[in-house]
Amino acid sequence: MKPLAELLRHLSRPGITELALASGRPPMARGATGYEPVDPGALSTDDLVKALQAMVGMARASTVSETPVQWTVNATGLGSISIAAVRRGELMNVRLTRGAEGAAQAAAPAAAAPAAAAAAPTRTPYAGVPAVAAPAPARTSTVETAARAAQPGGFSAVDAARTGQAGGMASAGAAARGVPGAAVASPQTGAASAYGGAGAAGYSGAAHAGVAAHAGAATHAGAAAHAGAAAHPAAHPNPPARVIPISRTTSAPGRDLTVLLEQARSMLASDLHLVAGRPPLLRIAGELLPQDTPLSPETVERLLLPIIPERLRHVLEKDGSVDFALDSEDTGRFRVNVGRQRTGLKGTFRLIAREIPTLESLGLPADIAKATHHHQGLIVLTGPSGHGKTSTLAALVDIINRETTHHVLTVEDPVEYVHPRKRALISQREVGTNTRTFASALKGSLREDPDVIVVGELRDTETVRMALAASETGHLLISTMNTPSAAKTIDRLIDLFPPGDQQQVRLSLSSGLRLIVSQRLMPSADGKSMVAAAEVLTGSVALGNLIRDNKTYQIPSLQQRGKSLGIIRFEDSLSDLARSGKATLETVKGFAENPDEIEAMVTGRRPGAAPTVSPPASAQEGARMLSKVGSLLGKKGA
């Protein structure tokens, strides 16, 4: 199949009003004499699905069924394009019709399509498959000419408008023209979408104010206006939609940020990296895999700059790096870091699951949930960056949300998992948006009647000091740290304080520590996903004594004999993964401090022991071996 941009250019030919795409047939263009092929290659259903995803998004493309669906977009150089699609089993039809004739055809009765096909029975691409007929006329919103401020051949994200089957999209509560923070209603559900609760124009295509397209390249089609930013001055009150790039100098549709994010989620990637001078990179099962061709510095800036919140733009200029959350009804939620490096901008998108995970789905011990039953104390989740601490934190909060009526107050930078309303009352605060720092939020939280306080990360001495104080005053505090093991987590918490305060910190930890979970993610045995190994250290009198007496070096010894206390050693978790076949022995040995011990636990051999000699295959072979041994002994005796 030719690139979609090349196929769409046929609609600009004189007399061509329709482009017909059907499974098992070559793409056909309809002119005055009927249908004619524009590419000799037959299209597969997968080709059509990918093309439809590039035009209207993955979520909308997935709604195509036996009931015809229709969208309308505006594209530079072509004007209004009506897109109609239907699917019958494994076969799919897609019609793209240009201009006023396209709107009239969309409103025409279903019987008109077979009649038109009968006029040229040997050339119609719809033979054997019912023609597409829209269920109702589409109402296409106009786009003002000022939206075409890009260079020739380029696109502006406000150069498109899409209508849903129900007859168009309405803005939520405010006209998008020049109104900061106007939310946009989804054509599917009517629900307003905004970035991090800031009430920005939604991710369905609003462009950043004042950002013009680069020459010959599409402006980010699908990136939402950043939080708090005004909509484009020339935008229509109806929300803009994805732009179909058709210019000869326009990059492929995959360079649309929305398409890249949808691709990352559909391929089960954990991260998407956009780096100037490199192709888009997806982290799948722990490995970075390149996609497509290298991105120019201008392309990366075009993709990233419009999504940076206005409040963080000066931070990027000053510090060279910013963190924020990106939320979209179509592609989901992402934690984003944008920074400057040698070749230009770099963007890292961490994918956040659409559903709150459970301990079972994460592959973690169910006994971890017992720690949430405490009314006060400290729970710390540790591990390197990117090894699932945030997901485990969300799973614990969800347990409290489902099973209790507590008030849970979270302080995060940024807010990642958004917890739905269940039994508990959950207040989520974002550093930089709702509060200045972790420490200031913790200080104020003690007056808000919380039962559980969740801190995204214990980063500095002041935050740890406030967290320990909160855990001692009748609150259960849950947080994360980037430390490699449970014992080193305790040492780190103590070493953050000056020597004169450390004994008091030991006393606080000895009585208030409830649980430490240290986890690692590693590739599964089939290499298609990640599995978790977890070290679990539960609070106990024995652990409290070691912390109070400054004997944390004896914690590994306590872990050896503490299974009855609910303690799980990291080595035991690794060996369980290898024995169950969830991960290979070589993989888990790479994460162990003592690989020989892991191999002995899995295979049953003592470290350094010689391999066991298998018994003879038959009695005759055994007799020959005994005869050979006897002859050797006879020679030695002589």
Q: Across residues 575-603, what is the average pLDDT?
A: 92
Q: Which of 356, 459, 446, 442 is nearest to 400 (CA)?
A: 356
Confidence of residue 205 (pLDDT cuts 50, 70, 90): very low
Q: At residue 388, does pLDDT exceed 60?
A: yes
Parallel, antiparallel or unpaired: strands 34-37 and 28-31: antiparallel
Per-residue pLDDT at 244: 35
Measure CA 600 to chain center. 38
Per-residue pLDDT at 554: 93
Q: Which helix (H) or strand (E) segment is 619 a member of?
A: helix 619-637
Residues in the chain: 638
Q: Which helix (H) or strand (E) segment is 588 a member of?
A: helix 585-591
Per-residue pLDDT at 509: 95
Q: What is the pLDDT of residues 323-363, one digit of tens each?
A: 999 998 888 999 999 999 998 999 999 999 989 999 999 99
Q: Which helix (H) or strand (E) segment is 570 a member of?
A: helix 570-579
Confidence of residue 157 (pLDDT cuts 50, 70, 90): very low
Q: What is the pLDDT of residues 279-322, one digit of tens each?
A: 999 999 999 999 888 999 999 999 999 999 999 999 999 999 99
**Cα–Cα distance for residue pair 636/638, rounded to 1 Å:** 6
- Determine which of 325-334, 477-486, 601-610 has the lowest per-residue pLDDT on average: 601-610
Q: Count of CB atoms within 10 A of residue 277's CB?
A: 14
Q: At residue 632, does pLDDT exceed 70?
A: no
Per-residue pLDDT at 79: 73
**Cα–Cα distance for residue pair 279/273, rounded to 1 Å:** 9
**Cα–Cα distance for residue pair 136/108, rounded to 1 Å:** 9
Q: At residue 221, does pLDDT exceed 70?
A: no
Which pair of tokens denotes residue 280? 């888009």
Q: What is the pLDDT of residues 16-61, one digit of tens each?
A: 888 888 888 888 888 777 778 888 778 888 888 888 887 787 777 7
Per-residue pLDDT at 299: 93
Is pTM beyond 0.85? Reply is no
Helix residue spans in 231-343 (DSSP H): 257-266, 297-304, 310-319
DSSP string for 371-431: GGG-SSEEEEEE-STTSSHHHHHHHHHHHHHHH---EEEEEESS--S-PPPSSSEEEEEEB
Q: Which of 78, 63, 258, 239 is nearest to 168 (CA)?
A: 239
Per-residue pLDDT at 250: 32
Percent of the chain with pLDDT over 90: 46
Per-residue pLDDT at 168: 35
Helix, strand and coil percent figures for the chain, each rounded to 5: 35, 25, 45
Q: What is the pLDDT of residues 437-469, one digit of tens each?
A: 888 898 888 889 999 999 999 989 999 999 999
Q: What is the mean pLDDT of the chain?
A: 75
Per-residue pLDDT at 19: 86
**Cα–Cα distance for residue pair 300/272, rounded to 1 Å:** 13
Which pair of tokens denotes residue 174? 């405010």
What domains can you pick out in the chain, each with its CATH number?
A: 4-118 (3.30.450.90), 145-352 (3.30.450.90), 359-568 (3.40.50.300)
Q: Count of CB atoms within 10 A of residue 407's CB?
A: 15
DSSP string for 490-541: HHHHHHTS-HHHHHHHHHHHHHHEEEEEEEEEEE-TTSSSEEEEEEEEE--H
Tell whether the torsion through CA atoms of 116, 122, 123 and 127 is positive or negative: positive
**Cα–Cα distance for residue pair 254/547, rounded to 1 Å:** 54
Percent of the chain with pLDDT over 70: 69
